[in-house]
Amino acid sequence: MDMKNLKALSMEAFLHGSKQFSEDGATANDALRNLINEKLGGQNNIHSWNRHKEDVFEILEVAIQEPVAKVLRNELDGFAEYHDNAIGDKNEFRVTDPKVFRVGRIAGGANNMRRQTLTSKTFTIGTEWFGDSIYVEYEQFLAGMVDWSEMVNRIAQAFVTRIQELIAEGMQQAYTAVKAPYKLSGSVTLDNLVALANRVSIKANRPVALYGTKTALAKVAALDNVQLYSGDMKNELNQNGYLGMVRGLKLIEIPQAFKANQDEFALDDTKVLVLPANESIVAVATEGQTEVYESDQTASTAMQMEMSIRRKLGVAVLEYKVYGVAELTA
C-alpha cells in the first residue's frame, strides 16, 4: 500500500473504523489490522516481530499522525492557527498588529508560561518532545489478539487531548488578571455584557467576539428571553448548544479539556472572554514525523512488548493587552 492510500486508510479507521472500507466488505479497522499482519508475514511470533517490527512502526507512525493533524484542524478552526511542519521549517505565525498583545508559550511539563513581547508582525514558537508508552502482553500478540486499530486511535486521541490541555492551561494563565471596569460578576445581564464588549472594542479600536467553552457560551443565550427567539435561533441553540451570534457579537467556542492527569476541567465553564476578533488567539505547531520505536526492555523481565511514541509540538497563546471577562453564574 502506498503512502497516499495508507493516509486515507488511517483517517477512515480513526473516524469510521467499523464502516465498510473496501469492496470485499472489510472495515477500515480490519484493513489496518490486515495490513500489519501482512507486514508480519502472517505470523504472530517473536521471530516475525523482530524481523518486521520496523515495518509495523512505520505504519503506526502514519496511522497516528494523520488523524492528529486532521482532528486538530477541525477542532481548532475559528480560534487557533495550526501548522504541521517538517523538521527544519520555521514555525512562523503572523499577526495583524504586534502592539496589541504579547505571546505566552506553554512550557511542556512545567505548566508555566514563557511570555514574549512582539516586535514585528511575525513570531515563532519552539517545539518540544511529547510522548507516551504503551505495551501489550506477548501472549496477546502470539494469540493474534492485539487490536492495532484501537491502539492507534487511542494514541492519536491522547496526543489531541494533550494539546487541548496545553491550550486550556495557556488560556487560564493568560486571561486571569483583569479588574473592573473590564470584569463583570454577580448579576450579569446581556446589556452589561454588550456594554463591556463595546468598552473593549473602543479601547482596542477593533471588533470583538465572545470566547468560552460550550457551557459558558450557552449561558449567554440564557441571559436573554429565549422565548422571544426565532425558530431558527432555537434550532441553532438545540443543535450547537449555544448561539453563534448574540446582539451582533460573535460567539467562538474554546474546546474544554481536563487538567493534566486530573479529572477536573482546565477551563472555567462560568467565564466568557471578550477579545478583539479576527485574530487567531492560539498558535499550535507540530514538527517532523511521529516516531514509534521499541522501548528499552533490558531491565524488565515482564513478557511484554513495549513501544514508545513521540512527536514534537508547541503551543502559544496570544495574550491581548485589552480584554474583558464576564463571570456568568446563571
**Domain of residue 284, CATH code:** 3.90.1690
Contact 66, 10 (CB under 8 A): yes
Whether the link from the prior residue into 181 is cis, omega within 30° of 0, is yes
Contact 325, 274 (CB under 8 A): yes
Number of domains within the chain = 1
Please report the pLDDT score of residue 175 as a whole number: 76
Q: Tell me what percent of the residues of the chain surpass a pLDDT of 90.
A: 20
- What confidence category does residue 189 fall into, taking pLDDT thresholds of 50, 70 and 90? very high
Q: What residues contact 221, with CB distance under 8 A and at least 6 apart?
A: 229, 237, 242, 243, 246
Domain that holds residue 229: 85-329
Residue 251 forms part of a structural domain: yes
- Scored b (16 or more CB within 10 A) or e, 236-251 reads bbeeeebbeebeebbb
Residue 267 forms part of a structural domain: yes
Please report the pLDDT score of residue 291 as a whole number: 92
Backbone angles phi, psi at 49, to 5 degrees: -60, -45
Q: pLDDT tens digits for 14-70?
A: 877 777 777 777 888 888 888 888 888 888 888 888 898 899 899 889 888 888 888
Q: Determine the average pLDDT of the residues in 155-165.
A: 84
Reduced 3-state DSSP string for the chain: CCHHHHHHHHHHHHHHCCCECCCCCCEHHHHHHHHHHHHCCCCCCHHHHHHHHHHHHHHHHHHHHHHHHHHHHHHHCCCEEEEEECCCCCCEEECCCHHHEEEEEECCCCCCEEEEECCCCEEECCCEEEEEEEEEEHHHHHCCCCCHHHHHHHHHHHHHHHHHHHHHHHHHHHCCCCCCCCEECCCCCHHHHHHHHHHHHHHHCCCEEEEECHHHHHHHHHCCCHHHCCHHHHHHHHHHCCCCEECCEEEEECCCCECCCCCCECCCCCEEEEEECCCCCEEEEEEEEEEEEECCCCCCCCCEEEEEEEEEEEEEEEEECCCEEEECCC
- What confidence category does residue 101 fall into, taking pLDDT thresholds of 50, 70 and 90? low
Residue 184 CA to residue 266 CA, distance in Å, equals 21
Q: Which of 22-26, 95-99, 146-150, 290-294 has the lowest mean pLDDT?
A: 95-99
Residue 327 CA to residue 217 CA, distance in Å, equals 11
Indicate if the pLDDT at residue 270 is higher than 70.
yes
Q: Determine the average pLDDT of the residues in 202-218.
A: 92
Q: pLDDT tens digits for 213-239?
A: 999 999 998 888 777 788 888 888 888
Indicate if the pLDDT at residue 155 is higher than 90.
no
C-alpha 262, offset from chain centre: 17
Q: Residue holding cell 487567531?
A: 280
Closest CA to 13 of 82, 58, 70: 70
Residue 277 CA to residue 132 CA, distance in Å, equals 36
Burial of 109 (0-12, 13-18, 19+ CB in 10 A): exposed
Q: Which cell is 257 given?
A: 479539556
Q: Select the more confidently predicted residue: 229 or 309.
A: 309
pTM for the predicted model, two decimal places: 0.77
- What confidence category does residue 110 fall into, taking pLDDT thresholds of 50, 70 and 90? very low
